[in-house]
Amino acid sequence: MKTLHYTTVIDAPRQHVWHVMLGAETYKTWTSAFADGSYFEGSWDEGQTIRFLIPDGRGMVSMIARNRPYEFVSIRHLGIIKDGIDDTESEAARNWTPAYENYTFSDAGTATELKIDVDTEQEFETYMEDTWPKALAKLKALCEAAA
């Protein structure tokens, strides 16, 4: 497992970036860089289960490990979802879990510095290195258009 790191500065206040990044409708827009129709079910509240899905029923089942509003969110990925069914016990699920995805929001003057740390398997590293910057560009555009 390798941890990848991404940073962007968004010309909008932290609270605004937080709401755009984690809001149900705007989440669909910026995560379309990963897969068209991406969405989540569940809550961003600490300790709660959240499911990250695409329309064909595949995705990840996760738990919010930490949530400090407007500062930090840590997502602990617990397993995979196939055909809408959570799988935390198969070899495929155990091979990459637990994995973490962390979002850190900090002030950069009147802007927000957003840092992403994401654990990934080597086979997905190239995909992540290509896709995360595209997703962050979409998020930045969304945040700055509405700021």
What CATH number did the domain enclosing 116 receive? Answer: 3.30.530.20
pLDDT-based confidence at residue 47 (cuts at 50, 70, 90): very high
- Residue pair 17/31 in contact (Cβ under 8 Å)? The answer is no
> Does the structure show a pLDDT above 80 at 146?
no
Domain extent, residue 72, equals 2-146
- What's the domain count of the chain? 1
- Residue pair 52/33 in contact (Cβ under 8 Å)? The answer is no
- Residue 101, exposed/middle/buried by CB under 10 A (0-12, 13-18, 19+)? buried
Give me the pLDDT at residue 93, please. 82
Measured distance CA(52)–CA(42) in Å, rounded: 9
Answer with the residue of higher pLDDT: 56 or 117.
117
Give me the pLDDT at residue 85, please. 87
Residue that is written with structure tokens 């196939």 in the block? 82
- Residue pair 16/143 in contact (Cβ under 8 Å)? The answer is yes
Query: What is the rounded average pLDDT of the residues 114-143?
Result: 95
Over residues 67-80, the pLDDT tens digits come to 999 999 999 999 99
Over residues 1-13, the pLDDT tens digits come to 899 999 999 999 9
Least confident of 11-15, 55-59, 101-105, 132-136: 55-59
Measured distance CA(53)–CA(67) in Å, rounded: 21
Looking at residue 95, its amino acid is N
pLDDT-based confidence at residue 147 (cuts at 50, 70, 90): low
